[in-house]
A and B are shown apart, each in its own frame.
Chain A
Amino acid sequence: MGSGLVARIRGSYGTKLTLALVVVVVLSVGVGTFVYQQTTTQLETDVRADLTGSADARADHLDAWLSNARGQTQLASRHPVLASGNDTAITRYLEGLAASDERPDGVVAAHVYNTSTTTIEASSADAFTGVNPREQGAPFATDPPSFATTSDVVVAAPFTVPAADFPVLSVLSPIPGTTDKALIYMVNVNTLTDDFGQNVAGSTTTVVSADGTYVSHPDQDRVLTGHDGPSRLLNQSRTQPAYIDANGTVTAAAPVDGAPWSVLVRAPHDRAFALGDFVASSLVGLVLITIVSLSLIGVTVGSTTVTALRQFSRRADEMAAGDLDTDIDTSRNDEFGTLAESFRSMRDSLSESLTDAERATARAEDAREDAEQQRADAEAAREDAEAARKDAQETARALESAAADYEEALTAVADGDLTRRVDASRDHDAMARIGHALNDMLDDIETSVAAATAFSDHVSDAAQRVEADAGDAIDAGTDVSTAVDEISDGATEQTDRLHEVAGEVDDLSASAEEVAETVASLADTAGQAASAVDDGRQATEDAVETMDDVADDAEAAADAMDALDSEMADIGEIVDVIADIADQTNMLALNASIEAARTGADGDGFAVVADEVKTLAEESRDAAEDIESRLLALQGQVSDVADEMRATSDTVSDGRATVGDAATALDDVVSFVADTDTAAGEIRAATDRQAHAASRVASAVDEVAGISQETAAQATAVADSAATQTDTLSSVDDAAADLADRAAALDDLLAEFDAHDDTEPEDY
């Protein structure tokens, strides 16, 4: 488990950081605890020293006072006046003592006390004179001290008396020269402890007597009551300073040497050790603030670092897995931003390399497939060649065997067996044809030999008849010659007719080509039409533009006219103003003439001028009216012109619309022409095919004509042969006799050949 934990810590930056921060916190807590311990120990020492020192000092203080009080009392008791018996002098002396600067602190009164009668015989305070302390329960009276010598001084236990409202301490010393008189200093106990200040916060100082009652206490009511502190401490403090920390109170005690008293200084524990609590609080607060600060640092630095690193790790894994399209955040400006930027450039370069590699792989794959294909092709070619070689071998073998067969058959035939035939059913076409040809030849030979045999048999007989029939034959030969001539003529005619047909077919072909040419020219025409239509459309667009310009011009002109119109209106207003001025001038002139008439002869000159002005004003007004009427007319004309301009503009707009329609119509024409072009193309293709067919027909007819010609030529040759035959027959007649002899010889010769007899000649 331990090693697993170490592995976990090693494997996680966040855990390491957390651990480091925890170590810092633990260290702070440790140091804080140590400091607190030190402080507490030190504080305890300090408190103890403070309290003990305070108790010691106060005990010493009390001691010093007591010895001073003793000395003073003894000194004062020796004064001779006290023993003189003169009461007045004694009282004066006592008053002087009580008022003296040298009396011990806290002395409120001095008495002369008669120990036998236990009454105060004289006192510095009148109230005490004649008082019997025994009756009042004063310890020094109820339990009278014994004086060893006349110089002895006794400090009696404190007490309260009705005559005083404070606890009273008495210091007694016998008066020398008397037997039963003593001087008593009465001391206010409170003044002894008034100056016990607090040198430890919340501390109180008390004086406790050996019998366990408070001699002095800050609370007046507690004085002379029982002591409530730990008695062990009190007993211990009889002889030496003591210190105790119990029941939430810290107490230090010190003995007073001059009296059976102890000075006790006590303080509540929590107030004495408040500094320790404050230190503890401050240390804990400091540690807490450290923890808060470290938490913030750990959380922010740790979280952002760990999340950033985890993201980088994930991106790297993704890149390792081949995903190079991952989004890498590079918005930070610190080292993480730089790292992210490096990651991104690494990814980009990886991506590029990968793309290159993939491209190279694809090329290699293509090359491999090509090679494979070529290899397959070569294999197929090799197989084809092998098959061809086998075929050739088989063919050669077949040819060889066929040739052997043929050779054997022909050898037999040559030996005279004319019935022998070759086996013509061969796989090889050429050999089969040869076989068939051989068989045909052998058939012919056999027939010929058989015929020749029969012929030779009959020649002898026929030779005689030939002679007789030769004449008939000559006649018949002539007839044959004539008939053959007729055939030759028919064949020649047929040839001519065929030539005619060929010519007609040629004509057909030519006309088809003509049609094709016509169609081609039609297509050209359609193309021209299309371009012409395009020109037309361009022209209409130009016309539209021009019209738009005209319309704009007309509009501009109309606007200019309107502007002119408004300017004229302005001029009319000016003219109106002139007319008004003229009216006012006229009025002025009228007034002037009236004024002139009123002034009589002296104003005649003035009247003349007034008349002139009036006339001038009237003329001005007339002129103004004239201008106004002309302006009105002109304005009307300008308005008309502007209206006409607008009308022109509208007309042009209408014209523009019409031209637009024309353009649309031209578009239709273009599409029609395109259709025509397509149709013409189809026709041209059809006629091309027709012309081709016609030329094939023409060549076939030419072939037929060739055959006919050949027939005619052969017929002519036959006719010539017939003629020759006729001539020959004449000589045949002569030769027939000779022939008979020869036939006999032939018959003997033919007997050597073995031929079928069933091939009898039908007729001779």
Chain B
Amino acid sequence: MALTTWFWVGAVGMLAGTVLPIRDCIRHPSHRRYDLVLAGITGLAAIAYTTMGLGITATTVGDRTVYLARYIDWLVTTPLIVLYLAMLARPGHRTSAWLLAADVFVIAAGIAAALTTGVQRWLFFAVGAAGYAALLYGLLGTLPRALGDDPRVRSLFVTLRNITVVLWTLYPVVWLLSPAGIGILQTEMYTIVVVYLDFISKVAFVAFAVLGADAVSRLVAADAAAPATAEPTPDGD
């Protein structure tokens, strides 16, 4: 089958995943901030897959084809996933900022590795792996410490965090096996595996986040009960 077929499969899957947070937002308008982030994760990925399905943003590096849209998608949606985890754990602004920065750094290194050849790409891969180690430290060590006592929020955070950590760790492995790496995976199989990984790490993440919406309700209720800790709205409406 042509590669674009798999891209279209990915686009449809992401679109289906976007329905969940939108439905939750309609049911619970107070979850709007959380649901917008979730809808952004799958919605932007759906747009990226649509452009890849249309064959746009394909560029040739060396003897292989790189789809820039995939990396731009990751550059935007992975910070949204980290942001959602931070919104559950509520660390300080500085912690959130460095986590997001580490995530953007990792993806940027990945893009650089994808667009270069020879020794350079391994160099960028190593730099990205180091950044990913820092990000893992933040997700496994720093964020849980900021977590409140609510068991539902804890449970939801741990589930989503583990999905993210385990599945994201598979990406560099798949990249190593891909034509860009040692090349055991052929282009079509690589595409299938990455579409599946993307689907699981985004749609499953969003689905479990929506299933745990009662934890978000508790967070929102706690905000309403203690308005002093909530972020002030500039115009009050």
A295 within 8 A of partner (CB): yes
**A308 contacts B174, CB within 8 Å?**
no
Q: Which residues of A contact B204 (CB under 8 A)?
A: 296, 300
**B159 contacts A299, CB within 8 Å?**
yes
Chain A proximity of B173: nearest CB distance (Å): 8
Q: Which residues of B contact A674 (CB under 8 A)?
A: none
**B177 contacts A288, CB within 8 Å?**
yes
B162 within 8 A of partner (CB): yes
**B193 contacts A285, CB within 8 Å?**
yes
B225 within 8 A of partner (CB): no
**A304 contacts B159, CB within 8 Å?**
yes
**A296 contacts B167, CB within 8 Å?**
yes
**A311 contacts B200, CB within 8 Å?**
no
B58 within 8 A of partner (CB): no
Residues 258-294 of chain A, each 1 if its beta carbon lies under 8 Å from chain B, else 0: 0000000000000000000110111011001101110
The size class of the interface chain A forms with chain B is 20 to 34
A45 within 8 A of partner (CB): no
Q: Which residues of A contact B174 (CB under 8 A)?
A: 288
Chain B proximity of A568: nearest CB distance (Å): 56
**B159 contacts A285, CB within 8 Å?**
no
**A307 contacts B185, CB within 8 Å?**
no
**B151 contacts A329, CB within 8 Å?**
yes
Residues 295-307 of chain A, each 1 if its beta carbon lies under 8 Å from chain B, else 0: 1101110111001
**B163 contacts A300, CB within 8 Å?**
yes
**B155 contacts A296, CB within 8 Å?**
no
The size class of the interface chain B forms with chain A is 20 to 34
State whether A295 and B184 are in contact (beta carbons under 8 Å apart), knowing that A285-B192, A303-B162, A307-B155 are contacts in the complex: no
Main secondary structure on chain B at its contact with chain A?
Answer: helix
Q: Which residues of A contact B151 (CB under 8 A)?
A: 307, 311, 327, 329
B166 within 8 A of partner (CB): yes
Q: Which residues of B contact A293 (CB under 8 A)?
A: 200
State whether A299 and B177 are in contact (beta carbons under 8 Å apart), knowing that A285-B185, A285-B192 are contacts in the complex: no
**A285 contacts B189, CB within 8 Å?**
yes
**B166 contacts A284, CB within 8 Å?**
no
Chain A proximity of B106: nearest CB distance (Å): 19
B12 within 8 A of partner (CB): no
**B154 contacts A307, CB within 8 Å?**
yes
A146 within 8 A of partner (CB): no
**A280 contacts B184, CB within 8 Å?**
yes
B197 within 8 A of partner (CB): yes
**A288 contacts B158, CB within 8 Å?**
no
Q: Who on chain A is nearest to B164 by CB?
A: A299
Select which of B158, B186, B214 is within 8 A of A331 by beta carbon. B214
B208 within 8 A of partner (CB): yes
Q: Which residues of A contact B208 (CB under 8 A)?
A: 300
Chain B proximity of A66: nearest CB distance (Å): 45
B105 within 8 A of partner (CB): no
Q: Who on chain A is nearest to B154 by CB?
A: A307
Select which of B162, B197, B214 is within 8 A of A299 by beta carbon. B162
Q: Which residues of A contact B133 (CB under 8 A)?
A: none
Q: How far is the CA of A304 from the CA of B156 in the complex (A)?
A: 8
Q: How far is the CA of A285 from the CA of B193 in the complex (A)?
A: 6
Q: 13 extra interchain contacts, Cβ-Cβ under 8 A, other than A300-B163, A311-B151?
A: A277-B186, A284-B185, A288-B177, A288-B193, A292-B167, A292-B193, A295-B166, A295-B170, A295-B200, A296-B163, A299-B162, A300-B204, A327-B151
Q: Would you give 9 A-B contacts (Cβ < 8 Å), ordered by A?
A: A284-B184, A284-B189, A285-B193, A288-B185, A292-B197, A296-B200, A299-B162, A299-B167, A303-B159
Contact residues of A with B, CB < 8 Å?
Answer: 277-278, 280-282, 284-285, 288-289, 291-293, 295-296, 298-300, 302-304, 307-308, 311, 327, 329, 331
